[in-house]
Amino acid sequence: MCIASRLSPDRGATLSHVASPTAALRFSAGDRDQIGKTAGELIARMRRHGAGPGGSVTRLVYTEPWQAAMAELEAWFSEIGLEVRTDSVGSRFGRLAGERTEVVMSGSHVDSVSSGGAYDGVLGVIMAACAANWLAATQGEPVRSLEVFAGCEEESSRFACNFWGSRALAGLVEPGEPGRLADSEGVTIAEAMRACELDPGRILEARRTDLAAYVEPHIEQGAVLEEAGDLIGIVDRVVGVRGLQVSLSGVTGHAGTLAMANRRDALAGAAEIVLGVERVGRSRGVPTVATVGQIEVLPGGFNQVPGLARFTIDFRHPEDEVLGQLDGELRALIARVAAARELEAQVSQRLRQPAIRFDDRICAALEEACLDAAVAWRRMPSLAGHDAQVIGRLCPAAMLFVPSRGGVSHRPDEETRLPDIVSGIEVLARALFRLAYLR
């Protein structure tokens, strides 16, 4: 068992502890150099797929850049001796076969947000494959099969489909979704899948029943690790996320002739609600967040009073009870503003992702790996959603964070230092050894 530091309830230190089965595993200086070189090259290679201005990456699911990125990963998996497979929604898997059919899986997603960066998601795939490659070279055949997961969609940047690849693994894609969900140009998921030679009628075949454990490496997307001077975050829970779609209807009119006293301005009402959403989030304190991220105003003329405003509200907290309270507060805010301004309000639920606590055994394996690798670590929640929260319904799961420089993510300048990536790969390899190689 590990001995956690007394400096903070969340922080772990490199203290002496009972010898663990992974204590003898070591990345040599040569290993670190070679793995760092490989990871750096792959980050650069993957960045080309969907490259845009200012170093940005836009790699939306089922588009040509996404297909090219998946093809490059397939080729690399094959080069390092992994057996490559594509499931019915397009996720890729690189398998290191073991004595048993049960699978320990690690990886992340390949799609990006629009004008995002080169690390979110895909770095987790690179880290997992580097760890599997090192284990195969130094430890040979595992007891449980080890698979690298390159998920087909997580960000919902093209379709509002919420963890499409991992939901398919869990058998949570509803029958009507492929033909119902469409992108901004009206292309449905079913049509986009067919363009990639995938059959939307076979989605249920992606469901997995053989997973024994899942570990997802990822950049932190925040500044906690960097500010604390820690190298690894052991994520033991993911916040719940809820999303509301709001529509405010008023009366449009000429900006010059419609008197202020007679206006039912939908945008003015939306603006009041936006500020109210911010107040609700701030009043609860950390770790509550509440955000209006999208807004559409019609008719949209510079000399017209807006008659319609549509917008979204995203709010997050680790406790489902608090999420329910926030939902009630926000709906009451919308109703008050609409009544005071004589607007008609319609509110629907766009997203409902429950909070999840990860598996204590896998978190303990990651803690032991950090201690054996002599790196500073801390337990922490994730304030962003990840595939692990869905796959965690299928099997024991947890996450490993490496630092984001400046806490930056979903931007072209997101970055994780290469030495930190290598340290993360070493910790991941130790944890995967414990999960896949020990009887």
List the CATH number of the domain containing 65: 3.40.630.10
Query: What residues in the chain have per-residue pLDDT under 70?
Result: 1-23
Kindly state whether residue 139 falls inside one of the protein's structural domains: yes
Looking at the structure, do residues 389 and 348 belong to the same domain, yes or no?
Answer: no
Asked whether residue 344 is domain-assigned, the answer is yes
Q: Does residue 41 share a domain with residue 160? A: yes
Nearest alpha carbon to residue 146 among 100, 110, 108: 100
- Phi, psi for 80 (deg, rounded to 5): -95, 10
Report the pLDDT value the prediction gives residue 354, as an integer from 0 to 100: 84
Report helix angle 320-340 to 266-284, nearest 10: 150
Please indicate, yes or no, whether residues 67 and 194 belong to a single structural domain of this protein: yes
Residues 101 and 178 in one domain: yes
Closest C-alpha to 364, from 240, 213, 209, 224: 213
Q: Does residue 234 lie within any of the structural domains?
A: yes
The answer to the question of residue 6 being in a domain is: no
In a domain, residue 182? The reply is: yes
Using alpha carbons, select from 35, 10, 16, 80 the residue that is nearest to residue 428: 35
Which residues, in sequence order, are CB contacts of 63 under 8 Å at separation 6+?
50, 158
Residue 390 belongs to a domain: yes
Q: Total structural domains in the chain?
A: 2
* Residue 260 and residue 227 share a domain: no
**Are 226 and 330 contained in the same domain?**
no
Distances (CA, A) of 1 to 18, 254, 417: 6, 71, 30
Residue after which a domain boundary falls, among 335, 353, 371:
353
Judge whether 25 lies within some domain. Answer: yes
DSSP annotation of 182 reads B
Angle at 173 between CA 171 and CA 174, to 5 degrees: 120
Supply the CATH number for residue 341's domain.
Answer: 3.30.70.360
- Of 168, 95, 100, 161, residue with least CA distance to 128: 95
Q: How far is CA 130 from CA 247, 284, 376, 393, 426, in A?
A: 47, 41, 21, 26, 9
Query: pTM of the predicted model, to two decimals?
Result: 0.86
- pLDDT, residue 22, reads 66
Residue finishing a domain among 332, 353, 374: 353
Is 318 found in the same domain as 349? yes
The Cβ of residue 175 has, within 10 Å, a number of other Cβ atoms equal to 10
Q: Is 81 left (phi over 0), alpha (psi -120 to 50) or beta?
A: left
Encode pLDDT of 247-296 as tens digits.
Answer: 999 999 999 999 999 999 999 999 999 999 999 999 999 889 999 999 99
Which among 318, 353, 388 is the end of a domain? 353
In a domain, 78, yes or no: yes
What pLDDT score does 303 carry? 97
Rounded Cα distance, 148 and 84, in Å: 9
Task: Give dist(CA 381, CA 63) in Å, integer.
Answer: 32
The verdict on 245 and 132 lying in the same domain is no
Domain that holds residue 275: 241-353
Same domain for 202 and 256: no
Phi, psi of 344 (to 5 degrees): -95, 125
Does 231 lie in the same domain as 247?
no
- Phi, psi at residue 371, to the nearest 5°? -65, -45
Give the H or E element holding residue 34: helix 29-47
- Its sign, for the CA torsion 48, 407, 369, 35, is positive
Residues 100, 230 within the same domain: yes
Read off the tokens for 344: 């008609």
Q: Quote the distance between the C-alpha of residue 250 and its chain's center.
A: 37
- Do residue 325 and residue 271 come from a single domain? yes
pLDDT averaged over every residue in the chain: 93
